[in-house]
Structure 1
Amino acid sequence: MKGHLCCPYKRSPLLSLNRRCNKFDTRFSHKNIFLKQHWRCTRFFYANPPQLHKWNNDHIFKSKLVERILRDSIKLPSVNHSFNRMKCWAQIITTPTADTPGTTILLHFDNKRYLFGNVAEGTQRAAVQRKLGLIKVGDIFLTGRLGWDNAGGLLGMILTLADIRSSSREEKKGHGQDKTDPAEKDMSLSIHGGRNLTHLLATSRRFIFRKGMPIVTNEYTFMKERLQKTWEPTWRDENIKVWAMAIESEVTVRKRSHAEFSDHIQDQKSQCELDEHDIIRKSVVSSMFDSSWRLDTLIKKKLSEVQLPAAIFHRGENGRIQKYEGPTVEEDASVADLEVLVRNPWPGALTENLPSTTPSNTSICYIVKNYDQRGRFDPKKAKDLGITPGPDFRRLTQGESITTRAGKIVSPDMVLGKGKSGSGFAVIELPCVAFLESLLARKEFSSSEVMLGVGVIFWILGPEVIHDTRLQKFMEDRNEMKHIVSSSDYCPNYLALESAAMAAIRLNLLDPNHFPLPDYSNQVDHIIQGLEQIERAQCGMVVQLEPLLEVQRDSVIPLLKSAIVVQGAPKNVLELAEVARSSMDDVEYLATLERNQADIPCKDAEVTTLGTGSSLPSKYRNVSATLIRVPGYGNYLLDCGENTLGQLKRVFGKDLPDVLRNLKTIWISHLHADHHLGTVNVIKAWHEATKDQGVMNNQKLIVASDRGMTNWLREYAEVEDYGYNRVEPVTLGSRTSFSFKPSQDLVSHTGFNYIEACQVEHCAGALAVVFGFPNGFKFAYSGDCRPSERFVRIGQGATLLIHEATFDDELRGDAVAKKHSTTSEALDIGKRMNARRILLTHFSQRYQKIPIMNCKDGKSQVAIVAFDYMKIRIEDFVKMEALKPALMKLYEGKEE
């Protein structure tokens, strides 16, 4: 099909689009080279049809999606900016702490919001803590070298924004409000960053799907910068102009210089292949967030063609659709191969593999300015020049020239007073000193056209970068600017999430053995002498851009001190806690407890509950993660929600490297974002802890889950080297096996004898699991699910059951609808499983609660409730009974 791009249409969408692109060339001169590059690549595609079948992406090029993707990629942002100046400011939302490892800046206009800097893990939780309205966020500008350190919270942030906007739409419909806030009319979200941004988003296609919020990605690279020949902004809208800078490390520059575009034809071919791959990735992202897919659409298939897990339906004798309850052909070969109905997977999941990529070593930085302010309009001058009052006055104020009846051309500068230049700031991220030389060579800093009005630079710096004399001289040479520095060695590791920290401090007053104080410091180790223009970044600090550029500190969040929280603790709660501690220390009580627990294996195994909330991070509870430390065998992490690493840092402090070195397995129960988006950073921290301490590099970390999880980790490993080559993926599920028994050689490393899992009712691929150990210790973990008989069977006689209890009993209807369990249902599972100890977790984030449960002498089952940062040994579960009155009093009537 000569002249067609793997497409049955008579005229290729790419062909007709690129013909239009050539027309655009004369209108938008600063985009000429970019558009012509698309045209060259299109012609290359025709001569060399892309072999898309190897990625199972034929469906991408068999639709008009290609045309829309390329149209979006060349669409210029609106430049119809208003001459009426809005008050605008940039505010620091996060600085580097254990809770918020990145630096995030919110740029505020009345009609729109922008995020600059990092969207690291913990960013959305900080936004909840600060009560920031995010619904008007339309653009996110990621700085730095793209990786999980600076973009690990991006997926969670996108889900939050999509849900907020969806809820807002539904609420307005419910109230009959047809008028929409102009800021909310465009529900799309644009994300700007370095190479691999689109790839990062596309890797999540198996577990993220939202409708009605199109995602547009803009990747800035060194190659694209070479095409930019003027000082025109890289991007603009009605409020701001942005110049993106791709800063390369010295290593990258050296590698590139050896083969600097030596073969133009090969270079063109390579660029065209990259564009082809980019189209595939963009189409996947588009189908993830702007699809017409419906959950209630069923398609016909033969029973033998159905891939489990999947909801299977069939038409009964009465013609109605019913759920199919029989065995599959795979389970029983004698079953008739019936015609059944199943749901199609959402479109993004149809792409089995993405085109490969490699890590980027480019750090993205930005210069941001608002528009120049026009001078005051002089109507007398306009009349004297022959302009008739009315629409022509308005056109002059909007920058248009007018021709009078006498044929005289009147330009705006003839009737407007002296204007004011736009003000602005820069956001520069240097992960290490290797990027510094490239930054210093940037010509933007010597361009008056770009830098005029820029009065502040936000510096996001890696460790020790601030001490480089070259950087300090750069700052000294620009001492008319304010330099605000954010780095882990220049900003304190303060308690960024005050609500969670205060809750932990109060619990510590009740029982310091089981509720440790979060590890933090309000002090700073490094002080920079002699640079007066340098200021430490502080959460809440504001840089006002209009009407005057100034740094404001009135909104800076005061650092939380544990002593203040202690002073405000309720006296009646402290008295109840003192009574409880006295009873725990009673000699006779302890002796009885020892006798009753003598038959429990591994009583000194310790459970640390790192995240005990459901769905989204809240002020008080983080999302799912539980660490089990089994003496003599190892540490085991059950689920790993966003910022689990931060929670580990708060709990273990300086002891964390030892904890990580003994980490044997990460178990992920299912692919909902609140259960696994912290996995990459935990693996990276484990990799660094074991590598730097001289431990043998052949040590492996098992990550066990459904195959969707292991595929995601493999795909993301192409974006950055986080230690995946040292991960031992163990896939469990219907397509493989529900059990895993390590070889005899591996047992000495893994610690456990076996893992056994079973499918549970929650989502596709959801699994409950049991770990068994040589000494008889056995723990069972439900993940998220409705009560499961299979789970009861495989967990029979468990030493410890950790079960979700998302809803109170009066909300059983919600539990059924959302496929979760109630408190009583979870306890009933433990009873039928004959579990000796039960830990309830994964609570609704709407309120803090203490379910009423009875436990007596520790001889029979004992059930307790999990709190973030709680550390408790199996033998101490019973002691929590004494604390129950104090806990009930502490949380009396508290709701989110």
Structure 2
Amino acid sequence: MNWSASVLTTLSSDTEPTIILTFDSAKYIFNAGENTNRAFLQSRGNWKRTRGLFFTDVGMKRSSGLPGLLMSFADATISKLNIVGPPGLLHYMASMRLYTFRDSLLINPIESSWTPSSVPSPEPLYKDANITVYGIPILPIPEPAQNPSTFLTDTSSTDTTAEAGMKRKRDPSPDLPEKRQSLMTDEPESAPEASLDPAKFSPETLEGDAAQEWRRLMIKTMFPGSNMKKPDPPQQSQKKQKGKNRSRENKANDKAAANNAKTEEASKSATSAFVQVQETVDITPAETVTNVDTWRRARPPFGFHSQLPKFIPHAPLSHRGQPATPTLAYIIVGPRVRGKFDVKAAEALGVPPGPLRGRLTRGQTVTLKVKVDGEMIERVVRPEDVVGESEAPGTVVILDIPTTAHISALISSFGESPFYKRFRSEDPEDLKEYAVRSVFHICGKGVLEDERYVAFMNGFIPSVHHVVASRDYLPDPVTFTSAAFNQLRLNQLDPEIFPIPKYSLSPKKILNNIPGIPASTHLMSSSQLIPMRPPAPPLNETFAKSGDMFHPAVSSDAPTPLPSLTRERFADAQKNVEDFSKSGKVHVPKGADVKIIPLGTGSAIPTKYRNVSSTLIQIPEWGNILLDAGEGTWGQLVRQFGLDDEAGSPNVWDVLRDLKCIFVSHIHGDHQMGLAQILSKRRMVEPPPSQPLFLVSIRSVHLYIRELSDMQDLGLNDPSGNGVIPIMSESLHWRKTGAYQTGGMWQVGGDEPWLDFQLSQDNAQEMYRVLGLESFSTVDVYHRTRCYGAVIRHKDGWSIVFSGDTQPTSTLVWAGQKATLLIHEATMADDQAEMATQKAHSTFGQAIAIGKRMTAEHILLTHFSARYPKMPPSGVAKPNQIEEDAQKRLKEPIIALAFDHANLEIGKMWKMNYYLAAVEQSFRDTVEEDDVEEDGEPVLGMDVDVE
């Protein structure tokens, strides 16, 4: 059985390390940071046959790409998935419940413990026919090192499972029950806190095992597996096939329904009431929508929308000014390959072909009668008599060592355990049992230079390949080279509007300069492949180089060559811009120097060329506003501004320090899955921000962030007062109602103290002062879930209106009258109006019509469907129409298309009309094989909500 380990993504400005083990029948993914989903698209790899996801940590670095991957997996017909991780995994997954749902997917979450096993032969966290996975908790220890046992307090009740439906034996612990069944089994659960009064039930009050069971119930609700997709059975008539499929589906649904019934019955006393999906809700005068998210059949349990039980993580150690939290190391043992059957030896012993030889190959001893010297005798044949010695299973070790404070625990884990010692042993008997072939090292600052760590690396046998990821020793090439190459070409059209992404091909430090580093140490790089069987040194897969046009082009001293037609289009556009600039007809609006930087202009899912929704507004002398924050927003910011001080000013830390407001329009994942990463990075800014960051959004977004903050500091309770300050979108409603709506779709829901209406109003007044705003109003728009647009008016006289996701709606027109700029979603082309209505989105023409009704001066179209991989068919004015439009300045707005990383000052947005034909031609030149428009809109589940 041949298999391999590979690197999907490495440490870079927009990715974290993701490692994949690949067998013919299955794949196993280790860590999934932001942009993992998009990286699969760029690499031309796929996630088919994924059987398990494993996490070394459940903080933002290692697991923030999980929700997007889960929805992609479900839509790729993966029906069952094991997810393994350290304590906090269940809490993290349950926190996604308000925007993640797939009824075709069954999830088995396996949460480890921070308490190391003391038994001689620890049981694996996970095991199947391909791999056996052991988890080793690595806890930071203050330096100088103290007794590790004093830092092993496990504050959360956990369980571990070997496979779906299987329980793992554990060491006795006062915090861990000896036996507990999983919600994934067919057996009923004990009710969480059965004595609670259902009328007063609050999940937040649950503790220990009851809290864990509640989190499992939430995951079961998100991924019930009630609509699993079955492959068609081969070699059957169509009629029989249909009948059998119906039968299977009925059985699966009956079984799922029975399981759900058992689960509900088990927790009946605590969850006896169910919330109803709202059938009809008012959203604007004379505008109604029926059955919000109508496809969702399941009714979430009572308490689903309440705050999760408080998760108390392992207390972080302060290490050199930064929190140091535990990580989980993995040892992955591949399959043992049996030795070759010796036919000649079998014949000599008289073993005939057939079942007896089969039993011997399976390791069974056989007894048979043979004739020797004319007499029949009974002979015992053992497997080793006819089968060669089995091949030791290949083994991979994955280590996540974020600080030097983790090194002592790592060394002791491998040095003191008789079992784990064997993986670094040169004893012939140990080498027959396990063949460690590759060790992946994910190292934080200072770890690789530490003498103890180098000595630890040298403790493995010399043939082991060490693959190292460390920011100081890795270059920082662009990950999404297809988009970067397009940007590089457009940079020749206008270097100010289309800047080249920030990157570096040279590391800060040279790996070989580390004294004593093993000779077989390799830098981790994307698309790196390490054959495990048959074993071979790491190599880079050829398609990665052949598909990368950006780095060879940008490394050349000469400009990127352009086809003759593109050069002509560029030259024509540049001349027209120059001529119009000199004509004196250029309208200079108020707020002309306000910069709009689209960071993500795609809809629902990322693509090679467009990230999902996010737009940065930079107000000179005042600060920055971020409109939505889809997954990967942080990486887009870093590529836009640069990560290091030497990259110049402002770099990304300056931008983050000046970020004063984030507005999240709604809970759908493509609009908010990058928010937590932005907040976590803001905590790293040095010197820290001197003013707060105001988060304007609905309750579900605030609730999600608060639940995540149990696991990682996101700045919600900064004693300096310059952390994250909540403002409820409903408190800023454009009609200025003075109170929250108490019923229907637009009610706030919940009674948490931070929901207080007057508190939000007071916080908003401070936000106005900090940003120089006259007002910031929210507008109820027409989408598949509760969604708000925004109207931002500055005291300097300009205004920006942001639509969020919406069908055309009059409320935005009324609230945003005479806007300087309207940023409006334009998901579909005009010939897809019916589909746009079904999905509660707008077409290009509809978005432009809203802007004209609003009498907006400028319209920026964004949020394009993935069916338009590069250039959406907008119908925006071409150059020969622009002169005429300029004469009608008071009647016709300037209309532009948004592109990721475009720098668009409001006063120069008119240039985009002149550039449109040139941009279209440039994109036409770089069509790749897989850039094919889809017949149907991709459905990757970002439009999901159960509010």
1:190 maps to amino acid: N
2:176 to 253, 271, 280: 271
| Equivalent in the alignment of 2:224 | 290
1:683-719 Cα offsets, whole Å, 9 max, x none, are 1222322xx21544xx321111111000000011001
Q: Secondary structure at the match of 1:721?
A: coil
RMSD: 3.3
1:380-402 Cα offsets, whole Å, 9 max, x none, are 54466565543332222122333
Q: Distance in 1 between matches of 2:850 and 2:302?
A: 34
Native 8 Å contact 2:475 2:506 kept in 1: yes
Q: Give the deviation of 1:552 after TM superposition.
A: 2.8
Q: Distance in 2 between matches of 1:158 and 1:345?
A: 19
Structure 2 residue 817 is matched with structure 1 residue 853? no
1:424-466 Cα offsets, whole Å, 9 max, x none, are 2211110111111111112355215487310221111112321
Structure 2 residue 580 is matched with structure 1 residue 591? no
Q: Secondary structure at the match of 2:903?
A: strand
Q: Distance in 2 between matches of 1:349 and 1:380?
A: 69
Structure 2 residue 714 is matched with structure 1 residue 722? yes
Q: Distance in 2 between matches of 1:419 and 1:308?
A: 59
| Equivalent in the alignment of 1:365 | 329
| Equivalent in the alignment of 1:356 | 310
Matches within 5 A, 1:125-204: 125-143=38-56, 145-165=57-77, 187-204=79-96
Native 8 Å contact 2:114 2:153 kept in 1: no
Native 8 Å contact 2:113 2:154 kept in 1: no
Q: Distance in 1 between matches of 2:313 and 2:21?
A: 29
Native 8 Å contact 1:188 1:213 kept in 2: yes
Q: Distance in 1 between matches of 2:503 and 2:680?
A: 22
2:849 maps to amino acid: D
CA 1:657–1:553 in structure 2 vs 1: closer, same or farther (change >3 Å)? Answer: closer
Aligned pairs, how many?
Answer: 748
Q: List alignment gaps of at least 5 residues for structure 1.
A: 1-85, 166-183, 298-304, 315-322, 329-340
1:617 to 576, 600, 606: 606
1:212 maps to amino acid: S
Structure 2 residue 669 is matched with structure 1 residue 673? yes
| Equivalent in the alignment of 1:347 | 300
1:355 maps to amino acid: P
Q: Distance in 2 between matches of 1:425 and 1:793?
A: 61
CA 1:614–1:566 in structure 2 vs 1: closer, same or farther (change >3 Å)? Answer: farther
Structure 2 residue 698 is matched with structure 1 residue 703? no
CA 1:547–1:632 in structure 2 vs 1: closer, same or farther (change >3 Å)? Answer: closer
CA 1:359–1:578 in structure 2 vs 1: closer, same or farther (change >3 Å)? Answer: farther
CA 1:662–1:398 in structure 2 vs 1: closer, same or farther (change >3 Å)? Answer: same
Matches within 5 A, 1:360-399: 360=314, 361-379=325-343, 381-382=345-346, 389-399=353-363
Native 8 Å contact 1:742 1:753 kept in 2: no
Matches within 5 A, 1:475-874: 475-478=457-460, 479-528=462-511, 529=513, 530=515, 531=517, 532-555=519-542, 557-558=544-545, 560-561=551-552, 562-563=554-555, 566-586=559-579, 589=582, 591-593=584-586, 596-597=587-588, 600-653=589-642, 654=647, 655-689=651-685, 692-696=686-690, 699-725=691-717, 726-733=723-730, 734-736=746-748, 742=763, 744-847=765-868, 848-850=870-872, 851-854=874-877, 855=882, 856-857=885-886, 858-859=889-890, 860-874=892-906
| Equivalent in the alignment of 1:422 | 393
Q: Secondary structure at the match of 1:538?
A: coil
Q: Distance in 2 between matches of 1:500 and 1:591?
A: 35
After alignment, is 858-867 or 791-800 more displaced?
858-867
Q: Give the deviation of 1:133 after TM superposition.
A: 1.9
Q: Give the deviation of 1:815 after TM superposition.
A: 0.8
Structure 2 residue 40 is matched with structure 1 residue 105? no
| Equivalent in the alignment of 1:70 | none
After alignment, is 584-593 or 282-291 more displaced?
584-593
Q: Give the deviation of 1:106 after TM superposition.
A: 1.4
Native 8 Å contact 1:97 1:494 kept in 2: yes
Native 8 Å contact 1:401 1:409 kept in 2: yes
Q: List alignment gaps of at least 5 residues for structure 2.
A: 158-171, 178-206, 229-256, 258-272, 289-293, 315-324, 370-376, 718-722, 731-745, 749-756, 933-947
Q: Give the deviation of 1:255 after TM superposition.
A: 9.2
1:490 maps to amino acid: Y
Q: Distance in 2 between matches of 1:197 and 1:461?
A: 22
Q: Distance in 2 between matches of 1:743 and 1:540?
A: 47
Q: Give the deviation of 1:403 after TM superposition.
A: 4.6
CA 1:442–1:818 in structure 2 vs 1: closer, same or farther (change >3 Å)? Answer: same
Q: Distance in 1 between matches of 2:830 and 2:112?
A: 52
Native 8 Å contact 1:90 1:108 kept in 2: yes
CA 1:417–1:761 in structure 2 vs 1: closer, same or farther (change >3 Å)? Answer: same
| Equivalent in the alignment of 2:280 | 312
1:40-63 Cα offsets, whole Å, 9 max, x none, are xxxxxxxxxxxxxxxxxxxxxxxx
Q: Give the deviation of 1:411 after TM superposition.
A: 3.5
CA 1:548–1:481 in structure 2 vs 1: closer, same or farther (change >3 Å)? Answer: closer
Q: Give the deviation of 1:367 after TM superposition.
A: 1.5
1:465 to 428, 438, 447: 447
Q: Secondary structure at the match of 2:29?
A: strand
Structure with higher RCO (Cα < 8 A, 6+ apart):
2
Native 8 Å contact 1:806 1:822 kept in 2: yes
Matches within 5 A, 1:424-443: 424-443=395-414
Q: Secondary structure at the match of 1:753?
A: strand
CA 1:463–1:203 in structure 2 vs 1: closer, same or farther (change >3 Å)? Answer: same
Q: Secondary structure at the match of 2:599?
A: strand
2:91 maps to amino acid: H
| Equivalent in the alignment of 1:412 | 383
Q: Distance in 1 between matches of 2:811 and 2:819?
A: 14
CA 1:374–1:662 in structure 2 vs 1: closer, same or farther (change >3 Å)? Answer: same
2:22 maps to amino acid: H
Structure 2 residue 869 is matched with structure 1 residue 876? no
Q: Distance in 1 between matches of 2:626 and 2:804?
A: 12
1:660 maps to amino acid: L
Matches within 5 A, 1:196-235: 196-223=88-115, 225-226=116-117, 228-230=119-121, 232-235=123-126
Q: Give the deviation of 1:883 after TM superposition.
A: 1.5
Q: Distance in 2 between matches of 1:833 and 1:231?
A: 67
| Equivalent in the alignment of 2:937 | none
| Equivalent in the alignment of 2:5 | 90
Q: Give the deviation of 1:727 after TM superposition.
A: 1.1
Native 8 Å contact 1:423 1:549 kept in 2: no
Q: Distance in 2 between matches of 1:151 and 1:870?
A: 29
Native 8 Å contact 1:98 1:646 kept in 2: yes
| Equivalent in the alignment of 1:115 | 29
1:507-556 Cα offsets, whole Å, 9 max, x none, are 11111111111011111111132532221112222111112343234538
Q: Secondary structure at the match of 1:524?
A: coil
Native 8 Å contact 1:542 1:555 kept in 2: no
Matches within 5 A, 1:52-91: 86-91=1-6
CA 1:342–1:494 in structure 2 vs 1: closer, same or farther (change >3 Å)? Answer: closer
TM-score, normalisation: structure 2: 0.74
1:659 maps to amino acid: V
Q: Distance in 2 between matches of 1:482 and 1:837?
A: 57
Q: Distance in 1 between matches of 2:698 and 2:920?
A: 38
After alignment, is 197-206 or 874-883 more displaced?
874-883
| Equivalent in the alignment of 2:140 | 249
| Equivalent in the alignment of 1:66 | none
After alignment, is 478-487 or 156-165 more displaced?
478-487
Q: Give the deviation of 1:667 after TM superposition.
A: 0.7
| Equivalent in the alignment of 1:20 | none
